[in-house]
A and B are shown apart, each in its own frame.
Chain A
Amino acid sequence: MGMTMIENLLARKAGVRKVSPGDTVTVDVDMCVMIDLQFATMWLPPSRINDPGKVAVVMDHAVPAPTLKDAAGGPRARKFVADFGIERFFDVGRHGICHQVIAENGLARPGEVLACTDSHTCAGGAYNTAARGLGPAEVYSILCTGSTWFQVAPTVRYELDGVLPEGISGKDVFLYIADAYGDATNLNLEFGGPGLGSIRLNDRRTIATQAAEISADFATFGVDDLLREFLTERGVEDYQPADADPDADYLAVRHLDLSTLEPYVARPGTVSRNGVPVSRIEPRKIDQAFIGSCANGQLEDLRIAARILRGKTVAAGVRLLVTPASQQVYRDAMRLGYLQDIADAGGVITNSTCGACFGYHMGVVGPGEVCLTSSTRNFTGRMGSTEAEIYMASPATVAASAVAGVITDPRGVTA
């Protein structure tokens, strides 16, 4: 039997002809991305590092610093990049959520390995990269030694058929998959098939990002014309894509007819087997609506939100918070008028940060409140109080619901 996409990638990087589920491989890491939290907690300056050209430092989770602890991390990060001559430093002002910064700057390259101190690093799988989140100690080790190990997991392939309808986003695709198939613990996910071309790059990244929520290892998309164009625009060239063999050995192949999908919402607690089409959910009143995060603070997400909000008003009693995924997204959305439309409707636009998504700053929810979020996690307590309820849906659904004041099918609003 042949190898799956991620197996081909890992085998090549490990310098072996074949890998199979259960094998442990050691690979060189092509890009090691460190985040601000790493410098605020347990930071020790290393004696030496592997290669400053393979390191990026991104200030994202706690910027501008909401605590003294975080404020103390900033100078350590700045000293570290200066001491070791690290040029890829995304300090406050040219910062963004690391997975957005990785995408904008072409740091995730097809066929390569990327490590980063954030669990949503699987986002890079949208670009055919073996990317996954690792803990701060392991990323520190990769910084020093340049390599790490992976145990190869079995792969599930999603074979995409049909065309994704207008108004249905990558978030809806993901929430459907999570509801229909549940957790993918210790499994790799692979996405391909004739329907792939109808899923835009931003939507692919939403899907790859959220593979973390169903506990998957790697989530990898193939290279097609859309991705090649995206990479060319960002100066990424001379890459070697990883593809699946025609006779690849999958744990399962699941066919997904994109044309049948509709907007989805996940109920509080988990996305796994906990979703429902928005058209079938009760009209749940919301207190906070959030559009942002590595999954859904992209320029296209803000465009969709602005289009729905233009000329409308956020319902009384609802807070709409919008966090662009990077300073670049913020600037583009401002130039294109999206931020004006959102603010005119009564939305609050924050600086780019992971803030509200992980309940750290910039929009923590209180006891008894209901939040509808387009971010990454709906765990109990994730965005603040453990007595708050977090529903999850697409930016379109969140924007439409902010106007209605209750969880609402965006198709009725945009039609």
Chain B
Amino acid sequence: MSEIASLEARKAEARVLFARLAELDADDPTRATVRDTVVELHLPLAEHLARRFAHRGEPHDDLVQVANIGLIKAVDRFEPERGLEFSTYATPTIVGEIKRHFRDKTWAVRVPRRLQELRLAMTRANADLAQTLGRSPTVAELAVHLGVGEDDVIEALEAGGAYSTVPLETENDDDAPGPSLTDTLGEEDTSFETVENLASLRPLLAELPERERRILLLRFFEGKTQSQIAADLGISQMHVSRLLARTLDRLRTGMLTTQ
């Protein structure tokens, strides 16, 4: 099939699927399946858009992950009766999500290019070494592998963090309770009940995006390491670290204001 023909076929299939979604009741169990199919159908679109932002210092896998979140948001917000093709509607939503990802990571102190490059190299080296060693590599091992000093490794780790001196994003941000990613990630949140005992935390946890909540539970209540979580979710360890730090900040701020 030619590329254009396959694009047309995808558009046609999307129209059929959205028509089905419109017919189904909000609580119909088949909704999730149809929704997943629409998402899967457009994963190549998300990947394609993510590739446009290559070579800007972010790992490809992280960008694809962010693009997929944008895609899921687009699926949930799309209103077929407005007469737009879904792909036309989804493209700016996905690109917006990727741009927001870059914007959220604007550091309080501008990180020099040398450090950004080192951080990128380190993300790769970290994954490679973890694979070879079967455990998280030490700072010394990373330094030797990259041919830099241990100080540089430490500096690059800090630069990769989500820590910033600027206040957290405001609440009406797009980060608000996103669509459920549970289906794509598999497995139930088995530890959620333990956490639910902490009454003040419950509403805050409920407000977290699915992925952030899941990472939090895996790390703090199931005792998984950051590298294990990164491997499970198919994102880089630095990304896990960043999300964890950001989520903790958010919970801490939330708990202080509700006191």
Indicate, yes or no, whether A interacts with B: no
Q: Which positions in A face B, CB cutoff 8 Å?
A: none
